[in-house]
Chains A and B, each alone.
Chain A
């Protein structure tokens, strides 16, 4: 239950930040394009994923299941481990091709959001295809 509450807080903060950011961007008369749209798209993916996970967990907890058990915790740790390794290679590539980014903020923003997307994709994959014998 505590985990569900934490997920709700994170989703609320993410959503509020995203909405306030969008309002700020549009009020300033700035139209995002290229990499900016990419960053916004990644943020939306991360926020939607967090919301879906929260709603599923909330439903399960109401049905009498735990929000997390030993297998889901193991998958989470493994996904974190793989996402960390993938992120290290991604940051290496980002620094190699840093000239492609218009500024440092965009470069860092893209990198951080891609790390989050890596974690989401790897966790989703492991949740469906985990096999202890393949460790």
Chain B
């Protein structure tokens, strides 16, 4: 799974720390999410997408299932 979190963060000028605080997770979780090493829960995916005013499928890209 790929994510556009880093790209969307850059557009909004948001740091990993700010995003982590907004969605209520630790900074390491954002790092792992950006690297595609962690698959978030639906709740967290929704919170992140909502932070960027995007839909979940526009933030998290599933290449192959």
Instruction: Tell me whether B25 and A71 are in contact (CB under 8 A).
Output: yes
Instruction: Tell me whether B38 and A66 are in contact (CB under 8 A).
Output: no
> Please, what's the 1-or-0 string for A66-107, where 1 marks a CB less than 8 Å from any CB in chain B?
101111100000000000000000000000000000000000
Give the docked Cα–Cα distance between A99 and B15 (Å).
58
Least CB distance, A47 to chain B, in whole angstroms: 24
Instruction: Tell me whether B26 and A132 are in contact (CB under 8 A).
Output: no
A71, A72, A132 — most chain B CB neighbours (10 Å): A71
Instruction: Tell me whether B32 and A65 are in contact (CB under 8 A).
Output: no
Instruction: Tell me whether B37 and A72 are in contact (CB under 8 A).
Output: no
Within 8 A of B (CB), among A35-89: 60, 64-66, 68-72
Report B-chain residues with C-beta under 8 Å of the C-beta of A71. Answer: 25-26, 28-29, 32, 38, 40
Instruction: Tell me whether A60 and B32 are in contact (CB under 8 A).
Output: no
> Please, what's the 1-or-0 string for B15-39, where 1 marks a CB less than 8 Å from any CB in chain A?
0000011001111110010000111
Report B-chain residues with C-beta under 8 Å of the C-beta of A133. Answer: 37
